[in-house]
Amino acid sequence: MDERNFTYMFYGLAAAWTTIVLYVLTLVTRENKLKTEVETLKNLIKERKV
Amino acid sequence: MREKLIYALGIVAALYLVRNLYVMLLQLPDELAQGPIYRIFYFHLPGYFTGATCFFLGGVFSILYLVTRKWKWDSLAVSVTEVGLPFAAMNLITGMIWGRIIWGIWWTWDPRLTAALISALIYAGYLMLRKAIPDPTERAKNSAVMAIFAFTSVIFTYKSNEWFRTQHPAPVLSLRTGGGTIEPAMEWMLFHNWMALLMLAALFIAIRWNQEERRREIESLRREALAY
């Protein structure tokens, strides 16, 4: 059996997990951005009301 | 309550995936012809099925939006469609790595592979379309129509290795072949990992849905801010 067979199996599994991790990072980054934006807009409206 | 459910789902999905990794790496034997690399299939096939399930739900939620005009369905449609995309990417990337060893090439413009790539690109286009339309009603209506038509690409990809002569392996699941093409323990592992990835997808959808609701809140706050 080709030695690369085993190595590429790990590449495949690593690629699958990397895809998931990258999407989780996207979700986390977006979550933080949205929270900040909501807070900023709420403060802006409060300031304008005053 | 929703947050606690999200955490619980995350923990269960993670444990299920760890259990599946243990079984696929340490308990199941190598495949006779392919050797250890066949284990890539435990992510390649479930990745495709999870993506296809998400895209199917995206189509269903889009129909529900067009019928009811309720924002909830639009939010759910974009959430499931976006979550389906990384699983479609997982299917494509793991397939390429498997192909490098078994076929000796990273990629070929074979009908099955090409259909899967085009399908993923169509759904990426769906997300880009949403970003390009500023009016929420227009955005929801146009993207719902696109999601419904886009699902035909998923069906085309699924059936392509029956309709065309392809380099891609023929169907192996007993649901399609009637049995005898795959060792039952290996087939069960495929279903177990599909369930685990579906749980993971459900977790992502719940998080993404929350974010979409927040985005809608931002749009309304922006209008309010402009009014002052």
Interchain CB contact of B97 with A (< 8 Å): yes
- The pLDDT tens digits for B18-68 are 999 999 999 998 888 888 999 999 999 999 999 999 999 999 999 999 999
Using only C-alpha atoms, chain B has a radius of gyration, in whole angstroms, of: 20
First to last CA, chain A: 75
Under 8 Å CB pairs connecting chains A and B tally to 88
Enter the tokens of residue B121: 């690109």
CA distance B25 to chain A (A): 10
Would you write out chain A's pLDDT as a tens digit for each of its 50 residues? Answer: 567 788 999 999 999 999 999 999 999 999 999 999 999 999 999 888 87
Facing residue for B43 by CB, picked from A5, A12, A42: A12
Inter-CA distances, A8 with A15, B36, B74, Å: 10, 9, 40
pLDDT tens series, chain B, 228 aa: 778 888 899 999 999 999 999 999 999 988 888 889 999 999 999 999 999 999 999 999 999 999 999 999 999 999 999 999 999 999 999 999 999 999 999 999 999 999 999 999 999 999 999 999 999 999 999 999 999 999 999 999 999 988 998 889 888 887 777 777 778 888 899 999 999 999 999 999 999 999 999 999 998 998 888 887
CA atoms of B49 and B27, how far apart (whole Å): 24
**Complex confidence, ipTM:** 0.91
Distance CA B199, CA A31 (A): 20
Q: How far apart are CA B191 and CA B67, in angstroms?
A: 34
- The reply to whether residue A4 touches residue B204, judged by beta carbons under 8 angstroms, is no
Tell if the CB–CB gap between B86 and A15 is shorter than 8 Å: no
Contacts of A20 in chain B (CB under 8 A): 86, 90, 200
